[in-house]
Amino acid sequence: MKRGGEYARDSRYLTTRITADGRDGFPVEPGRYRLVVSRACPWASRAVIVRRLLGLEQALPMAIAGPTHDQRSWTFDLDPGGRDPVLGVERLQEAYFARDPGYDRGITVPAIVDVPTGEVVTNDYAQITIDMSLEWTAYHREGAPALYPPALRPEIDAVNETVYGDVNNGVYRAGFSGSQESYAAAYERLFNRLDLLSRRLEGSRYLVGDTITEADVRLFTTLVRFDAVYHGHFKCNRQKLSEMPVLWAYARDLFQTPGFGDTVDFDHIKRHYYMVHRDINPTGIVPVGPDLSNWLTPHDRAALGGRPFGDGKPPEAVAPDEAVPAGHTPLA
């Protein structure tokens, strides 16, 4: 927390990279690493979506932590015996301490763990998805989309920078504000940016170019949590997403696109925010609503043109062992 009650995110990440040439000591190798995520976390959800869109499920196996955690760490309470079956640990914290016994930063997801050593390689979520696009190309599925095409990278980077500051992190700046003044500033900044994004998307199906890119993934993970969590829990309540026609249609378009909505677990999302943030929600009561069936209503965005996967094609159906449980999504 900064002076004046402004929320400040700890951005000290492990920035080691897994690359095709192994220049940081960690070469891309199928099956060597384990992507640890929680479906509750928007930063981890980016990695889940990109991995699925690119078809990296076999090359980069995934571990799913439970939706809640304590001050120590995310836990593998969804797995039999409460341990990840590959890493053999109960808490993600153990992989961070294997890398650095004195580690004193956030135990965050997504994190990529080197299975042979049990050590976290990186938790630099922004770079993780870029490297999935650029460094893991040998293992992309046939028909995988170009999420970070060279010609569009400057524009994607510029959009991502403003979306991160004002929207992705903006909802947290509002929700965790320590003063009325800092909350009001974050609130205004958030909705000003959402208004600008609405105008940008009025005549364009996607944020940059005519296909899905990294920019759409990053905005989507905040939008999909907006009505279920951020509107009430984080006091981002000028309007619900479902009351912002352009962004609501845009979000539904992505949700109904293979690779997006089929990774979203609304049950985990709500349990995480409402049960973990006891300073905001002391009772830990998880709301029953909202009604999620409206995510499947027609969006009519195809009339704007655009090709979701460019010259490629949608991913195959989700593997049964990675499917979101029935009742946790309107798609089930």
Extract the tokens encoding 203: 């005549």
Bridge partners, residue 27, by sequence:
19
Pick the catalytic residue: 41, 125, 139, 274? 41
Phi, psi of 69 (to 5 degrees): -155, 165
Question: What Å distances lie between residue 64 and 6, 91, 265, CA to CA?
Answer: 32, 11, 12
> Can 41 be counted among the known catalytic residues?
yes
- Closest CA relative to residue 118, chosen from 139, 131, 136, 100: 100
Extract the tokens encoding 143: 């028909």
**Helix, strand or coil for residue 266?**
helix
Q: How many CB atoms lie within 10 A of CB 268?
A: 23
- The kind and range of the H/E element at 45 are helix 42-54
Phi, psi of 37 (to 5 degrees): -135, 170
Bridge partners, residue 112, by sequence:
35, 122
- Output DSSP code: residue 295: G
Pick the catalytic residue: 13, 103, 164, 172? 172
What is the Cα–Cα distance from 147 to 25, expressed in whole angstroms?
Answer: 26
Extract the tokens encoding 53: 């869109």
Query: Which sequence positions are flagged as catalytic?
Result: 41, 172
